Structure 1
Amino acid sequence: MSTTDPTGFGVALPALAWPDVVRVPPGGLRAVAARALFRQAVTRLPIRVELGDRRGERVFGAGGPGDPVMRIVRPEDFFARVGNDGLIGFGESFQASDWQALPPAEPAPGRGEDPLVELLTVFATQLSRLVPPTLQRLRRFAVRSRPAADENTPDGSRTNIARHYDLSNELFATFLDPTLTYSAALFDHEVGNTWNDLEAAQLRKIDRLLDECRVGPGSRMLEIGTGWGQLALRAAQRGASVHSITLSHEQLLLARQRVAQAGQSERVTIELRDYRDVAGQYDAIVSVEMIEAVGEAYWPAYFDAVDRCLAPGGSVGVQAITMPHERYVASRNTWTWIQKYVFPGGLIPSVTALQQAVGGTSLRVTSDLSFGPAYAETLRLWRQRFEAASEELQALGFDDIFRRMWTLYLAYSEAGFRARYLDVHQFVLRRPEAQDRS
């Protein structure tokens, strides 16, 4: 990572940059318990687990020769990490190369899935059943709580956003399509899409949301979460007046540059501003995959701000990643590997949780499009581009541990959507009287 990166991950010594990855915690009883629980869990899963650095050395699991393979190269380190830090340790052990995913010994004809995604999809499909119910009831005593520093206060939100979105515009450009859209695309087909299909699918997603929110000539539109400016540009090209806000300094600079290059500076205003500080009235308010960075405690404030700023007869479009409500309830107070390393302060809601947050406003959900399989396809294409850009990423200053971290993040997310553990929705919200007039 570059020396200007606020996270400091790019320092020369890995031990300074990644202390919890380089340091292996002590083993002891926790490691013994982790080994026993892990072995018990995988005996019910269609995978093969190999302990050791050679194929077939100490194999267990319910999988056959055609199933995904997890090779644990350093078992002592792996079980020490998992025993001390659970799923955070599982992720850190991948960053440290303690384990790897391998293709099946006898892959089925035509099987083209990435080995890591295949393996993680099995885990994601069985996630709620990996730990015995008696131990799940003790979850709150075994998992870590989120650090107070990750709280999404106005200052905390700026820091959390910077730690992900201000890493480097060049980083994101290595794997995003030319629109620089960092959210689920909407494909014509659920599987088999190519890189050449991605840009059109991203524009299809944007256009659908703008259509649903009735954005056209003369519309006053607020966008919460600018990204790199493609949605704002698309709305401006329809004749709308756009006010877009972001907390990412790097995105702000590039989005403004792209707007100027497109000749839309008179129609688009982009500001570094918190959603809590927005004023004015807008005919349409759109927000794409930003609600996940708000945090449960602040969802009411977020929807209150949207309600306050929506003009009579207006529409709100929110694209959000979701998880099942029972998993949301079980994990909402847990500090996860994703939160520690990728999205500090982030929390994926459930549909029920969002409906409850909206319930305190005058708004109601009037339409809902679910398209989770399309996100799996989007992530697959991103991951393939990211992995192919290894030399470019190294030249940008992103070390091996960072690249393994992001490979796991993209593969883990893809697996979540393939297992239907995760979903993505486009919600449209209106006031009941506006719905009656539509």
Structure 2
Amino acid sequence: MSACGCDAHGQSLRPVDQAIAELLTRVPTALPRERVALSEAAGRVLAEDVRAPWPMPAWDNSAMDGYALRAADVPAQGAWLPLAGRIAAGDSALYALPAGHAVRIFTGAPLPPGADSVVAQEQAEEEGVTVRVPATELGSHVRRCGEEFAVDSCVLKVGQRLRPQELGLLASLGVAEVLVYRRLRVCLLSSGNELREPGEALQAGQIYNANRYSIAAILRGLGCDVDDSVLLIDELDVSCAALRLAAAQCDVLISTGGVSVGEEDHLKQAVSELGELQLWRLAIQPGKPLAFGHICGTPWIGLPGNPAAALITALVVARPFLLRAQGCREVMPQPLRIAAGFTWSKANSRRQYLRARLQLSAGQLCAVPHAKQGSAMLTAACWADGLAIVECQRTLVEGELIDFLLFDSLLH
């Protein structure tokens, strides 16, 4: 195994891309399907192809407010044409355009039979019942029938996650309900006796449960139904009972903390007793302790306990699995290629995900990392626009191109 797959003590670490690929092979079978109103479909995943019941546009129509005419009726020097009527959006173009005439027309209105072009109103001069128009190119400012797609075209494919633009397209086809996969039910479990909820008083050694709120928000942003009420205390029997119950009620289990090597980290042992630990320890920084397995047949992802590490591994490693489990076809984010606004002089055995901000430097967009990259620190993530990736065993000089993952592309 390459150096990218070992830590400083020579212990095996799974490369990040390999771990993600392995997780995707272990996605459970497709969720049940349900039909929902279009108004409730944002973020849901299509469970069937959608085909066009008619062409789009359904008829030739004007792309401009202006005047519809035959291009051949206007000589090179322009002409005054008599007006033969007025057609607004929503009107029917019942009568053919007489030769040598124009008709006042508005955006979206159907072209009358015989018209083949539109002159924009700012290029024309109307006077009484005539209009002066310049010579125009055949087909100018006309949206042709079927220009966008033909009847029976597949306009959206199964596995498409519905964004506002897809909802608008479906509405334009008259679709009132869509067949989608049921939302993925995820149980988010927090592990650790030291955890308390915001609003509670802290005793010595206790901390607030930041991961519950950051990871639950990620899961809901990805379209999951989340039960985040379960707290695992550091006792093996109690952890086993809570995990067994959660596995029976949810599609996927996600935990934070309890997957490191400490004597009080009982979660891995509980997983081994109730199922199988299939992956542990990645060549990623932060987030090396991430784990994956099954508990009573239900997939389980064990995120690290440190808040920044939990956040990054949820976005980088868990996200593709969760999207594919909901039926999504495209699950991997597309990184930007951005100049490094920093120098990285020491190669690392793990891939680095640096919290970084995009800035302009000498007219070039570059990624500048926060000064504090600790795995427990969320301040850098709040400051950053995304994650600058430094590959394992890589050094950088300022200006070299690197991959950059925008938070905006990871959180939805």
Q: Structure 1 length as normaliser, TM-score?
A: 0.23
**Which structure has greater helix proportion?**
1
TM-score under structure 2 length normalisation: 0.24
Of Structure 1 and Structure 2, the greater strand share is in 2
